[in-house]
Structure 1
Amino acid sequence: MLRIFFRKAFDIRDGELRISFFMQLYIFLLITVLLMVKPTINALFLSNLGAEQLPYGYILVAAIAVVTMFFYNKAVKRFSLRVITISTLVLFSISFLVLSFIMHTGILNNWVLYFYYLSVSLFAVLVTSQFWIIANMVYNAREAKRLFGFIGAGAIAGGIFGGYLTTLIASSFGNRIVILIAGIIILLCIPILQIVWKLRIRKLNSYIRIQRKTRDQSSDVAPFRLIIQSKHLTYLAAIVGVGVVMAKLVDFQFSDFANRAIPDSDELASFFGFWFSTFNVVALAIQLFLTNRLMAWLGVTTNLLILPLCIAIGCLLFLTFPELWVLIIIKGVDGSFKQSVNKAGIELSILPIPYHIKNEAKSYIDVVVDSVATGLAGLMLIFLIRKLDLSSSYITVIILLFLFIWVLLIYKLREAYFESFRKNIQNSLASNSVVTKKLSSERTVKSTIEILKSGDEVEILTLLDRLKDFRLNTLESHIVGLLSHPSNTVKIAAIQQLYLYKKGTAIFKIRELINEEDDTLVYVAMEYLLQHTDLNDYKIYESFLNSPSDYISNAALLCLAKESTNNKKLGLKYGLNSRIEKKIREFNSHESETRSEEVAELLIAIAHTGEEKYYSYISAHFNNIDPFVVKHAIKAAGITSKESFIAPLLDFLAEKYFRKTATKALRSYGVQITRTILKLDLAENIKEPVREHIPRVIESFGTKDSVRVLMRLLRSKDFIIRSEAAKSLSLIKEKNSNLPVDQRQLTRILLKETNYYKNSLSAIATIKKAENESSLHPLEDTDIETELQIARENILQILNYQLDQSLECIFKLLSLKYDQADIDVAYFGLKSDVKETKINAVEFLDNVLKSRLKNNMLPLIEYHIIETNEYGVSPLELSEMSETKCMLLLLKNRGVNTKLAVINLILQKKDRTFTKQLRVLSKHKNKKVRRSAMHTLQSLKREAIILQ
C-alpha cells in the first residue's frame, strides 16, 4: 500500500524506495544541522560585531575557501569520496562540540566568532556539495529527474525542522545547547552514508574504477581549468556565482533591517529561526507539488529562470515600499525557490558532465565559486556602505543588475546543457562504431581529363554520371574521344553526354557506331542522329528500316515507334503497325533464333505505339524465363500507363532484381496511381512482400501530392506501410525541404502512432498473462495445449516486431518536426548497447520535444531503457484487459498478418464468442483473411454440432 502511494505521488518505482528514503534522511539531517548552527552563529555574530562586519566576513570566507579547496582537491585525488565525506562530517562535529564548550565557559570573543562564522559557511557548501556528488553517483539522469524533487523535499523538511528546533531550544535553553545537539546529529549521517554506499555505490565498482582511471589520467588538470575548458561548466559556475552574490546582497539587506528592528540576540535568533523555517515550509510545498511538474513542463534549465524573475518583481516592490515586510517577501522567495525549483535545476544541470570531471568541478563550484562570490559581495558592500556611505536600500538597484546578468547566463547554459547531452551520445556511438570516410566528389579539371583519357570503365562511367548536368567545353574533345573506347557502355554514356554540346557534334563518328553489333549502342546512336543533328529524318528511316542487319532495323523500328507517339502520320507513312505485327509473328513462329535484345526492343516499341491490341504481347513476357526480357516488359508496361498493368507491376516490387525497374514503371503512371494504391490499402489487399516498397514508389514523385498520399498512408492499419511511409517522408524532406508538411496533422499522426505503440505493449502483456495462466491450468489434451501456445507465441512475435517498426516510425516522423540530426542522435543513442547512452538519449529527447508530444512519448521511449533494469520494472501504466477484448481490438485495428494470427488463436481456442466477427471477416477483401475466417467458422460449426 505504501509503495503504491509513493509510486503515484512521487513516481518512486520498485527498488528505489529504500535508497531514496536513506538519501532523503541523509540530506534531512545535514540541513537540520545547518539550520541549527547558521541562525545561531549569525545571531551571535550580528549581536556582538554588528551587520557592518558582515562584508569582512564574506571576504574572509572567500579567502579561506580557496585555501581549503586546494588541500581538499589533493585529498580527492588520493582518497575515496566516502573516506573524505566521513572525515568531513567528523571534523565539523568536533568543531561544533568545541564551540558549545566555549560558549559554556563564556570565553567567546570576536576571533572565535569570526572562526565559526567561516566554519559554518564552509560547512554549508562543502557537506551539501558532497551529498549531491554522491546523489549523482547513486542515480542516473532519468532517475535523478524524477527523484531529486523527493530527495530535495528532505532538505527542505530538514530546514523546517532545524529552524523551528532552533527557535524552541534557543528560547528555552540557550544557543550553546543548540550547537551541542547539532554536533551530535552530524554523526548520525555516517551510518546512513555507509548504508547508501552498500546499497548502490558498491554495485557500481566497475564503473567507478573506469571513472577513477580516467580521472587519474587527467589528474594534473586543475579544477579551475576543467571549468574554463567547458562552456557548460563555465556558465554553470557563473550562474552559481551570480546567484550567490545576489543572495548575499539580499541577505545583507534582510539582516541589516532585522538587526535594527530587533536588537536582542536571542529574540533575533528566534526571528531568524522562525522565518527561515517558514520559508522552508513554503519551499516544501513547492517541492512536493510543483517542482516535478515544472521540470516536466519547462525542462531543467528553463526552471532556473523562475527564481531571478520572482526576485526581480520583489525588488521592484521594495523600490516602491522600502520596508522590512517587503524584504521578508524577497528573502522568502529566495529561500523558498532556491531550495526547491532552483536547487533541483542546478543539480540536474550538471548531470551531462562526466563523473571524473564532475567530482572535482562541482566541489570547486560549490565551495570556491560560492565563497569567492561571497567575498565579492563583501567587497561590494564595503565599498557601498563604508566608502560611499549609502543606505542598504540602494543595494536593490545592484541586485536588479545582477538579476539581468543571471537571466542571460541561464539562456547560455540552456544551449550548453543541450549540447553536452548531444556530445555524450555522439562520443558513445563513435566509440562503438566504425567511422567511415567519404571520398570527396570535387575533382579538378586536370584529374577529370586524366580519368577520361586513362581511367577504367567504372571510373569513367562514374565521372560521366556526375557530369551529366554540366557542359564543360574543355572536356568536349575528351568525351568525343570516348567514342573509340573498347567498352560499348562507355560509348553509350559518351553519346548521352554529347547532347549537352553543339548540335551535330561528332556526327561522323556516331554514324559509324550504327554498324556495331550492340542493340543498345545502335539505338542510342540512331536516336542521336535523329534528335541532335540536322540530318533528314525521312532519309534515316528509309536507310535503316529495311536494313538487312537486325541490329539496325530493330533500332530504327523502335525510333519510329517513339517518334510516332506525337507524329501519327510518320507511323502511317512507314507502316509502323504492320511492321510490329510482322515482328510479333516472326518471334512467335520459333522458326528462327530470336535474341533477347530484339524482343526487348519490340516490347518498348509496342508500348510507344499506344495500340492496346498489342498489349497482350507485353503481358505474356512478364513470365519470360529471361530476366532481361522481363525487365523490358515491365518498362513497356510503365510506358503504356495502362491501369490493367498496375497490379502485376506492384507484384514485381517484391522481387529485388525487378524492383528498381518496376518502381520507375509505376512512376510513369503519374500521381493517378496513388488512388489505386490507397484503395488497395483501405481494402488491406496489398500483398505482404509488396507493402514495404509501396511508399518508395510514391516518394519517387517528390511532389506535394506524394507528401499528401504518404501522410494518408501513415494512417494505414498495416505497420509496415506506416513505417516505410515515415521513412519516405523523411527522405523527401531531406531532398527538398521546401515541400510543406502539415504540422498539426503530423502531430495527430504522431500521437496516434504513440497510442498504437502503447496498445501493442498492453496486448503483449495480456497475451503473456494468458500464457502464464494457461501454463498454471493446462488442458488434458496436450496437442491442443501445444497448438494454443504456438498460436499465442505467433501473435507475440508479430506484436514485438511491430513495436520496433513503430518506434522507428515515431522517430522518422519526429525528424519532420525537429532537427533531423538531433532526432538521429537520440534514436541511435536509444538503440545503443550502453545503458548510460540510452539514458542520455532519453534526457536529450526530453529537452527537444514539446510538452504534448513529450508527455505522451517519453514514458514509451523510457520503457525500452527501464524494462531491462535490475528490478525488471516498467514505468508504463498498461491498461489491463481480458484476452477476449485484446483479440477483438487486434482484429479491428491491425493489419492482415495480425488478423490471421488472431483468427488462428480463435480456431485453437474453439471460441464461439467471435462468430459475429468471423462472419464479417469472411467477406473481407483480402483473400487470405476471407478464407481463414470462413475455415474457422466452419470448424466452430462442426464443433458445435459434435457437442450437441
Structure 2
Amino acid sequence: MIRTFLNKTFGIRDGEIYISFLMQIYIFLIINVLLIIKPIVNALFLSELGAEQLPYGYLMVALIAVITTYFYNRWVKQFSFLRVTSLSLLFFSFSFIALGLIITFANLGEWLLYTYYIGVSLFAVITTSQFWILANLVFNSREGKRLFGFIGAGAIAGGIFGGYLTSLIASAFGNVTAIIIAGIFLLVCIPILRKIWSIRIKRLSSYVRAQRKYQDTETQEPAYKIISKSKHLTYLALITGFGVIVAKLVDFQFSDFANKAIRDPDELASFFGFWFSSFNVIALCLQLFVTNKVLSKLGVASTLLILPLGLAVGSLLFLTFPELWVLVIIKGIDGSFKQSLNKAAVELSVMPIPFNIKNQAKSFIDVAVDSIATGLAGLMLILFIKRFDLPTTYITVIILLFTFVWIILIYKLREAYFNSFRQNIRRNLVKDSIKDKPHRKETAIGLTRSVLQSGDEDEILAILDRFSIYKIRTLRSEIIALLDFPSNKVKTEVIKQLYKYDKGVAIEKIKPLIYSNDDQLVQAALSYILEHSSISQYSFFNEYLDHSDPYISSSALLCLSEEISDNQNLSKRFNLEQRIVTRLNDCFINDDELRAAEISKLLLTIANAKLEKYYTYINVNLQHKNPIIVKSAIEAAGLTSNEQYTKILVQYLAEKPYRKAAINALKNYSSAIANTILKLEKNDELNNDAKRHIPTLVRSFNNQKSVKILMRLLKSKDVIIRFEATKALIKLKSQNENLYFNKRRLKKEIIKECRYGKETLDALASIRHMLASDVSNNLNIDQKRELKIARKSIIVVLDEQLITSLKSIFKLLALLYDEADIEVSYSGLMSEVKEAQINALEFLDNLLQSQLKEKILPLVEYYNVNSDDTSVKSQLQIEFMSEYELIRSLLAKRGKRIKLEVLYLISTLKDKSYRTLVHKQTFQKNKEVQEFAIKTLAILDQQKLVNH
C-alpha cells in the first residue's frame, strides 16, 4: 500500500524507495545546516558592519571562490569524489563549531565576520553542488525527472525546519546553541553519504566505467576551457551566472529594506528565519505537488523560464509599489521557485553531460561561476549605490534587464540540451560500420569514367541504371563508346541513355544493331532510329514492317502501335489491326515454335493499339508458364489502363518475381486507381504480401492526391498497410516539399496508433496471464497442448503487430518533427544499450508536445525499457480481459491475420458460447475469413451435438 502511494504520488518505483529516502535525508541535513548558519551569520554581519558592506562581501566571495575552485578541481582529479565530499563535510562542521566557541569566548572582529560570511557562501555552493553531482551519478535522466522532485523536497523541508529551528533556538537559547547543532548535523551526513555510496555507486560501477571510457585529453584541461568548448555548458554557466546576479540584487534589496525597518539583531535574525522558512513551505508544496507535473508537461527548458518570468513580473510590481511587502513577494518567488521548479530543471539540464566532464565543469559552475557572479553583483551595487548614491529601487531596472538576457539564454540552452542528448544516443549506440566520407564530385566522376571504360557488364549496368534519372555531359564520349561493348544488355541500356543527349547522337553506330538477333536490342535500336533519325515515319514502316527478319518486323510492329496515339492515320495506312490478327493466327497455329520475345511484343502491340476485342490474348498469357511472357502480359495490362485488370495487377504485387512489373503497370492508371485500392483494402481482399506494396505504388504518383490516399490508408485495420503508408508519406515529403501534410490529422493518427498499441499490450498481457494460470483441468494432455499452441500463435502475431505499430508511430512523428531527431530517438530506444534507451526517452520527453508525450512515452517505456517493472505497468494501466472479452475485441478490431488465429483458437476451445461471435464472421467480406468461420461454426455445432 505504501509503495503504491509513493509511486502514484511521487513517481517512486520498486527498488528506489530506500535510496531516495537516504538522498532526501542527506540534502535535508545540508540545507538544514545552511538555514541555521546563514541567518545567524547574516544577522551578525549586518548588525556589526551594516548593509552597505554587503557589496564588498560579495566581491570577496568571488575572489576566494576562484582560488578555492582552483584547488578544489585539483583535489577532484587526485582523489575520489567520496573522499573529497567527506573531507568537505568535516571541514565545514569543525569550522561552524569553532564559530560557536569564538562567539562564546571571544569577540568577532571585522575580518572574522568577513571570513564566516564568505565561508557560509562557499559552504552553500560546494556542499549542494557535491550533492547534485552525487544525484547525477546515482540516478539517470529518466529516474532524475521522476525523483528529483521528491529528493529536492528534502532540501526544502530542511530549509523549513532549519529556518524555524533557528528562529526558535536563537530566541530561546541564543545563536551559539544553534551553531553547535548545525555542526553536529553535518557530521551525521558523512555516514549517510558512505551508505549511499556502498549500496548504489558500486552497483553502478559499470555505468561509471561506461561514462569514463569517453574521457580524453580534453578533460585534463582547466574547467573553464572545457565549458567554453561546449555550447551546452557555456549556456548553463551563463544562465547560472545571471540567475545568481539577479538573486543577489533581490537579496540586497530585501536585506536593505529589512535592516532599515528592524534594528535589533535578534529580531532581525528571527525575521529572516521566519520568512526564509515560509518561502520554503511554499517551495515544498511546489516540489511535492507541482514540480514533477510541470516538468512532465513543459519539459526542462520551459520550466527554467518560470523563475525569471516570475521575478520580472515582481520587479514591475515593485516599480509601482516600492515597499517591503513587494520585496517579500519577489524574495518569495526567488526562494520558492529557485529551490523547487528551477533547481530540478537545472539539475536535469546537466544530465546529458558525461560524468567525467560533469564532475569538473559543474563544480566550477556551482562554485566559481556562482561566486564570480556574486562578485559582479557586488561591483554593480558599489557602483550604483556608493558611486552614484542612487536609491535601491533603481536596482529593479537592472534586475529587469538581467532577467531579459536570462530568458534569451534559456532559449539558447534548449537546442544545446537536445544536441547533447543526440550525441549521447549516437555515442552509446553500437556502430556496425563507419560511414564513408562523401567523395568530391570530381572524384565520383573520375571513378565513374574508369568503370565505363574498363568495368565488367554488371558494373557498367549499375552505373547506367543510376544515370537513368539524370545526365552528365562530361561522360558522353564514354557512354557512346559502349555501343561497341560485347554485351547486348549494355548496348540496349546505352541506347536508352542517348535519348538524353542531342537528337541523332551516334545514329550511324546504332543502325547496324537492328540486325543483332537480340529482341531487346533490336527494339531499342529501331525505336531510337524512328525517334532520332531524319527518316520519315512512312519510310521507316515501309522499310521495316514487312522485313524478312522476324526480329525486325515484330519490333517494327510494336513501334507502329506506339506511334498511333499521336497519328491515327498510321494505323489505317499500315493495317495495324489486320497485322495483329495475322500474328495472332500464327500464334495459335505455331504456339510451341514462337519465341517468348515475339509473344511479348505482340502483347504490348495489342495493348498500345487499345483493341479491346483482342484483350483475351492478354488474359490468357497472364496465366502463362513462362515468367517472361507473364511479365509482358502484366506490362500490357497496365498499358491498356483498363479497369478489368486493376484487381489482377494489385494481386500480382504479392508475387516477388512479378512485383516490379505489376507496380510499373499500375502506375499507368495514375491516381485513378485509388478508389479500387481503397475498396479492396476495406473489403480485406488483399493478400498480406500485396498490402505492403500498395503504398509504394500510391507514392509513385507523387502528387497531393497520393498524400490523400495514403492518409486514408492510415485508417486501415491492418497494421502492415498503416506502416507502409507512413513510410510512403515520409518519402513523399522528402521528394516533394510542396505537398501539404495536415499536422492536426497526423496527430490524431499518432494518438490512434498509440491506442492500438495500448490495446495490443492489453491483449498480450491478458493472453499471457491465461497461459500462466491455465486451469483447464477437464482437457486431456493433447487438447491442452493444442490450446497452448493456439494461444501462443496469437501472441506471436500480436508481438509482430506491436512492433510494426511502434514503427508506424515514429514514422508519423517524423512527419511532424525533424526526421533525423526521430530516427536517432528510435535507434536509441531499440538499442540494447541501456543508456541509449534512457537518453532517447528523455530526448523525446523534451521534444514532443505534451498530448503526444503522454500517449507515446508510457507505451515505449513499457515495451522496451522497463516492461518488467510493475510501477511502469500501473502507469500505463494495463487492463486484463477475460478470454471471451479478448476474443470479441480481436475479432471486432483486427484484420484478417489475427481473425484467422482467433478462429483457430475458438475451434480448439470448442466452447459453444463463442457461436454468436463466429456466426458474425461468416458475413465477412474476406472470403478466407468467411470460409474459416463457417468451418469453425461447424465444429462448434458438432460439439454441441456431442454434448447433447
Shift of 1:446: 7.7
Report SS of the residue matched to 2:739.
Answer: coil
* Aligned counterparts of 1:778 and 1:433: Cα–Cα separation in 2: 54
* Aligned counterparts of 1:921 and 1:845: Cα–Cα separation in 2: 41
Partner of 1:844: 843
Asked whether 1:738 is paired with 2:715, we answer: no
The structure-2 alpha-carbon separation of the partners of 1:534 and 1:898, relative to structure 1 and needing over 3 Å to count, comes to same
Shift of 1:354: 0.6
Q: Match for 1:789: what amino acid?
A: K
Partner of 2:783: 784
Partner of 2:861: 862
Partner of 1:237: 237
Partner of 2:671: 671
Q: Match for 1:552: what amino acid?
A: I
Identical residues among aligned pairs (%):
52
Asked whether 1:312 is paired with 2:295, we answer: no
Report SS of the residue matched to 1:299.
Answer: helix
Any residues of structure 2 matched to 1:901-916 within 5 Å, and which?
A: 901-916=901-916
Tell whether the 8 Å contact from 2:219 to 2:226 is kept in structure 1 after alignment: no
* Aligned counterparts of 2:458 and 2:17: Cα–Cα separation in 1: 65
The structure-2 alpha-carbon separation of the partners of 1:291 and 1:445, relative to structure 1 and needing over 3 Å to count, comes to closer
Any residues of structure 2 matched to 1:146-295 within 5 Å, and which?
A: 146-212=146-212, 214-215=214-215, 218-295=218-295
Q: Match for 2:683: what amino acid?
A: A
* Aligned counterparts of 1:627 and 1:232: Cα–Cα separation in 2: 61
Shift of 1:463: 5.1
Tell whether the 8 Å contact from 1:754 to 1:857 is kept in structure 2 after alignment: yes
The structure-2 alpha-carbon separation of the partners of 1:37 and 1:591, relative to structure 1 and needing over 3 Å to count, comes to closer
Tell whether the 8 Å contact from 2:51 to 2:256 is kept in structure 1 after alignment: yes
* Aligned counterparts of 2:625 and 2:40: Cα–Cα separation in 1: 98
Report the more deviating stretch, 929-938 or 62-71.
62-71
Partner of 2:687: 687
* Aligned counterparts of 1:472 and 1:685: Cα–Cα separation in 2: 46
Any residues of structure 2 matched to 1:681-760 within 5 Å, and which?
A: 681-760=681-760
* Aligned counterparts of 2:487 and 2:677: Cα–Cα separation in 1: 41
Report SS of the residue matched to 1:827.
Answer: helix
The structure-2 alpha-carbon separation of the partners of 1:362 and 1:871, relative to structure 1 and needing over 3 Å to count, comes to farther
Please, which runs of 5 or more residues in structure 1 have no aligned partner? none
Partner of 2:369: 369
Report the more deviating stretch, 624-633 or 269-278.
624-633
* Aligned counterparts of 2:79 and 2:778: Cα–Cα separation in 1: 63
Partner of 1:8: 8
Tell whether the 8 Å contact from 2:39 to 2:273 is kept in structure 1 after alignment: yes
Shift of 1:742: 1.6
The structure-2 alpha-carbon separation of the partners of 1:919 and 1:68, relative to structure 1 and needing over 3 Å to count, comes to same
Any residues of structure 2 matched to 1:410-421 within 5 Å, and which?
A: 410-421=410-421
Shift of 1:713: 0.7
Tell whether the 8 Å contact from 2:837 to 2:865 is kept in structure 1 after alignment: no
Partner of 1:809: 808
Tell whether the 8 Å contact from 1:461 to 1:490 is kept in structure 2 after alignment: yes
The structure-2 alpha-carbon separation of the partners of 1:377 and 1:810, relative to structure 1 and needing over 3 Å to count, comes to same
Asked whether 1:578 is paired with 2:555, we answer: no
Any residues of structure 2 matched to 1:115-134 within 5 Å, and which?
A: 115-134=115-134
Shift of 1:457: 4.2
Deviations 1:322-374 (A, max 9, x none): 22111111111111111111111111110111111001111111111111111
Shift of 1:552: 1.0
Please, which runs of 5 or more residues in structure 2 have no aligned partner? none
Partner of 2:100: 100
The structure-2 alpha-carbon separation of the partners of 1:573 and 1:889, relative to structure 1 and needing over 3 Å to count, comes to same
Asked whether 1:40 is paired with 2:40, we answer: yes
Report SS of the residue matched to 1:411.
Answer: helix
Report the more deviating stretch, 399-408 or 800-809.
399-408
Shift of 1:442: 5.5
Partner of 1:835: 834
Shift of 1:917: 1.8
Partner of 1:409: 409
The structure-2 alpha-carbon separation of the partners of 1:82 and 1:913, relative to structure 1 and needing over 3 Å to count, comes to same
Any residues of structure 2 matched to 1:908-927 within 5 Å, and which?
A: 908-927=908-927
Deviations 1:277-312 (A, max 9, x none): 011111112222221222122210121111111111
Report the more deviating stretch, 96-105 or 451-460.
451-460
* Aligned counterparts of 1:37 and 1:373: Cα–Cα separation in 2: 22
* Aligned counterparts of 1:472 and 1:318: Cα–Cα separation in 2: 71
The structure-2 alpha-carbon separation of the partners of 1:438 and 1:596, relative to structure 1 and needing over 3 Å to count, comes to farther
The structure-2 alpha-carbon separation of the partners of 1:882 and 1:449, relative to structure 1 and needing over 3 Å to count, comes to closer
Shift of 1:419: 1.3
Report SS of the residue matched to 1:14.
Answer: coil
The structure-2 alpha-carbon separation of the partners of 1:241 and 1:472, relative to structure 1 and needing over 3 Å to count, comes to closer
* Aligned counterparts of 2:443 and 2:562: Cα–Cα separation in 1: 37
Partner of 1:65: 65
Shift of 1:264: 0.8
* Aligned counterparts of 2:428 and 2:296: Cα–Cα separation in 1: 26
Report SS of the residue matched to 2:305.
Answer: helix
* Aligned counterparts of 1:609 and 1:244: Cα–Cα separation in 2: 83
Deviations 1:465-499 (A, max 9, x none): 55556677776666554433333233333333333
Tell whether the 8 Å contact from 1:77 to 1:219 is kept in structure 2 after alignment: no
The structure-2 alpha-carbon separation of the partners of 1:512 and 1:869, relative to structure 1 and needing over 3 Å to count, comes to same
Any residues of structure 2 matched to 1:328-727 within 5 Å, and which?
A: 328-429=328-429, 431=431, 433-437=433-437, 439=439, 456-458=456-458, 460-461=460-461, 464-465=464-465, 479-590=479-590, 593-727=593-727
CA-atom RMSD in angstroms: 2.2
Any residues of structure 2 matched to 1:820-831 within 5 Å, and which?
A: 820-831=819-830
Q: Match for 1:911: what amino acid?
A: D
Partner of 1:879: 879
The structure-2 alpha-carbon separation of the partners of 1:677 and 1:471, relative to structure 1 and needing over 3 Å to count, comes to closer
Shift of 1:572: 3.3
Deviations 1:59-112 (A, max 9, x none): 221222122222221221122212221221122111112222222224333332
The structure-2 alpha-carbon separation of the partners of 1:573 and 1:937, relative to structure 1 and needing over 3 Å to count, comes to same
* Aligned counterparts of 1:441 and 1:609: Cα–Cα separation in 2: 45
Tell whether the 8 Å contact from 1:866 to 1:873 is kept in structure 2 after alignment: no
Shift of 1:505: 4.2
* Aligned counterparts of 2:408 and 2:145: Cα–Cα separation in 1: 24
Tell whether the 8 Å contact from 2:651 to 2:686 is kept in structure 1 after alignment: no
Report SS of the residue matched to 1:145.
Answer: helix
Shift of 1:910: 2.1
* Aligned counterparts of 2:509 and 2:191: Cα–Cα separation in 1: 95
The structure-2 alpha-carbon separation of the partners of 1:439 and 1:869, relative to structure 1 and needing over 3 Å to count, comes to farther
Q: Match for 1:851: what amino acid?
A: S
* Aligned counterparts of 2:776 and 2:946: Cα–Cα separation in 1: 25
* Aligned counterparts of 1:598 and 1:576: Cα–Cα separation in 2: 16
Deviations 1:732-789 (A, max 9, x none): 1111121111211111111100110111111111111111220x66444111111111
TM-score normalised according to structure 1 size: 0.96
Partner of 1:892: 892
Deviations 1:774-805 (A, max 9, x none): 0x664441111111111111111111111110
Report the more deviating stretch, 446-455 or 662-671.
446-455
Tell whether the 8 Å contact from 2:526 to 2:555 is kept in structure 1 after alignment: yes
Deviations 1:851-876 (A, max 9, x none): 21112112112223432568895442
Shift of 1:174: 0.5
The structure-2 alpha-carbon separation of the partners of 1:463 and 1:340, relative to structure 1 and needing over 3 Å to count, comes to same
* Aligned counterparts of 1:436 and 1:800: Cα–Cα separation in 2: 36
The structure-2 alpha-carbon separation of the partners of 1:592 and 1:657, relative to structure 1 and needing over 3 Å to count, comes to closer
Paired residue total: 947
Any residues of structure 2 matched to 1:16-27 within 5 Å, and which?
A: 16-27=16-27
Tell whether the 8 Å contact from 1:565 to 1:610 is kept in structure 2 after alignment: no
Partner of 1:799: 798
Shift of 1:456: 4.7
Partner of 1:111: 111
Report the more deviating stretch, 109-118 or 706-715.
109-118
Shift of 1:385: 2.4
Q: Match for 1:852: what amino acid?
A: Q
Shift of 1:453: 5.3
Shift of 1:22: 1.5
* Aligned counterparts of 2:509 and 2:122: Cα–Cα separation in 1: 92
